[in-house]
Amino acid sequence: MRELNLDHLRTLLAVIDLGSFANAAAALSLAQPTVSLHLRELESRLEVRLLERGRRGVAATPAGMILIDYARKLLDLADQAAESVQSHKEGRVGEVNLGASAGLIAHHMPKLLHGIAAVLPDVKVNLTVTTTAMAVEKLQLGELDLALVGVAVRQSGLTFIGWRTDAIMAYLPAAWAAPKRITPAWLHEHPLLMNEPGSALRNQTVQWFGQAGFFPRPKIALNNGEALKSLVASGYGAALLPVESTHETSAQIQVARIYPAMARRTYLAHKKAKALAQPLQAVIELLLADR
């Protein structure tokens, strides 16, 4: 038996639902002979009579009633398939693997995920905690689609888009007697908490000390800004961290300006491509709107 034609099934439903070949032809913008041809083709393929014409119009035969039930389901599935493909084309469905530091995820991802859920409910964002070096490697290997990184790496096969700039401040235990401006010389004499090697912030902090002739030796190194702040609050040491939120307050922490001033620049990074996958493009646009 030859395959069923969806247009023929659509014609069958129109004839039954509208009660005549003429009404079906008008609704489908077809000539009436074409409607008749569609029905003959269906009956020929199935080798059974599907419709009976009577004084009260057109009625389905028992075989026709069975086909009509399946035709409605098949056409519904066809519409769903077309809608799913269109959703994918428009970036309304898919997955995006995104890497970022723990601090960026904690302070910025909740808002992003809420925005995606509202605008793109069928786009799933998978988050991975990374350093800049790790994110660049994972992007090149295809393990990440997008990353928030602290430096634009040339000749990496990646595209970098400036996202945001956050001032870096000194986070100190509240009990410390500290000057209004924290210098490398002063901070070098106190216990220091830093990010682990491979972090853009770690490299930036080392350069900040190095320009003043000092090499920092951290008491502890963690790639988690919130954990470092907890250690600062406990009096364990000081840390140089970006101000992620204007709502950061703690009775156990004092935040002071540093001199020379320093800021963290964050970039959106992805593989270079003539055209990005639509879900990825949609997430990038939402991130750029939030900077």
Q: Read off the pLDDT of residues 250-289 as tens digits, 9 standing for 90 and up.
A: 789 999 999 999 999 999 999 988 778 778 888 898 888 8
240 Cβ contact list (under 8 Å, min separation 6): 168, 169, 170, 171, 187, 194, 201, 205, 208, 258, 262
Quickly name the fold that domain 165-264 has: D-Maltodextrin-Binding Protein; domain 2 (3.40.190)
Question: Which pTM was predicted?
Answer: 0.64
Average pLDDT on 153-180 reads: 91
- Of 71-75, 83-87, 225-229, the one with minimum mean pLDDT is 83-87
Average pLDDT on 174-200 reads: 93
Distance CA 98, CA 116 (A): 13
Q: What is the pLDDT of residues 3-61, one digit of tens each?
A: 788 889 898 898 898 888 888 888 889 999 998 899 898 988 888 998 888 777 788 89
**Structure confidence at residue 226 (pLDDT):** 87
**Structure confidence at residue 207 (pLDDT):** 95
Q: With bands split at pLDDT 50, 70 and 90, how would you rate the model's confidence at 89?
A: low
CATH of 6-89, one of 1.10.10.10, 1.10.600.10, 3.40.50.800, 3.40.50.300: 1.10.10.10
The CATH superfamily holding the domain 94-163+266-289 is: Periplasmic binding protein-like II (3.40.190.10)
Map out the domains of the chain as residue ranges.
6-89, 94-163+266-289, 165-264
CA distances from 231 to 38, 96, 221, 222 (A): 76, 33, 11, 10
Average pLDDT on 183-204 reads: 93
Q: Do domains 6-89 and 165-264 have the same CATH topology?
A: no
